[in-house]
Amino acid sequence: MSKGSRIVPTLRYRDTKEAVDWLCRAFGFERHKIAEKDDGSIEHAELGYGDALVMLGDIKDGGSVPQEDVKGTARSIYVVVDDVEKHHERAMAAGATIARAPEDTSYGSREYSVRDPEGYIWHFGSYDPWAKAPGRIDYEEDDATGVVEIRVAGRVTSSGFEPVKKKLEAFLARHEKVRLIEVIESFEGMELSMLFEDLFFSLRHMRRFSHVAVVTDLRWVERMANASAVVLPARLRVFPQDALEEARGWVRRAA
């Protein structure tokens, strides 16, 4: 398959030629392909925005889909943009009718909505459904047992790692020996700077960990952990995900 989505929205306009000009001027679309009729009107148009396309065409007289049935709030298009405020200003400058001013949503997006000259509603926002979710690092500690549990999922970033590192360093300051449970649900890499930061942190504190339980279903993580067990001063065991409680029991019983 060529680059791009298999699903291409298609809109019908009374005046496709005017619609193409307005959408390019107001929203920043680019002409990808234009097929004109002998009279200069547009038979078929494809407009691009990044890697996405939308196709336009005239409403045919006597066609089976009347204008009222293909536009309105029940049928709209969402477009991912890099700068919502700047795009909103561009639409305003082109005389667009703003249906919803830029606002933050409960799902982490910044969006606004606009009505084009023939009534279609367009939504422009920062939320990208194709983007990978940011990584997650959860941290729990128990001073009574000297146990720390860290859960990792996705891509590790400095913004996620730094708070965990500070909490762990404070915990290490209170305990001579620490027992660690690392739950690796998934791992999609880490920022380059994190490779060195994580290495230096591990080297500086490796003798402070007496027992380490690695809980994961990722085979490559299991192999790496078992290889590390040869050189690490801590006792290390690897457990599958469904044996998390067993791993917790092993760490807490360790003397």
Angle, CA of 38, 43 and 44, to the nearest 5°: 140
Between CA 17 and CA 42 the distance in angstroms is 6
- Summarize pLDDT for 62-102 with one digit per residue, the tens: 543 444 444 444 568 999 999 999 999 999 999 999 999 99
Domains of the chain: 10-125 (3.10.180.10), 136-253 (3.30.750.24)
pLDDT in tens, 11-58: 989 899 999 999 999 999 999 999 988 888 888 999 999 888 999 988
| Proportion of the chain above pLDDT 90, given as a percent | 48
Position 63 scores a pLDDT of: 45
* Nearest CA among 68, 54, 61, 50 for reference residue 20: 54
Mark out the alpha helices in 62-144 (DSSP H runs).
Answer: 84-93
Sign of dihedral through CA atoms 59, 62, 65, 71? Answer: positive
Long-range contacts of 167-170 (CB under 8 A, 24+ apart): 167/139, 167/141, 168/139
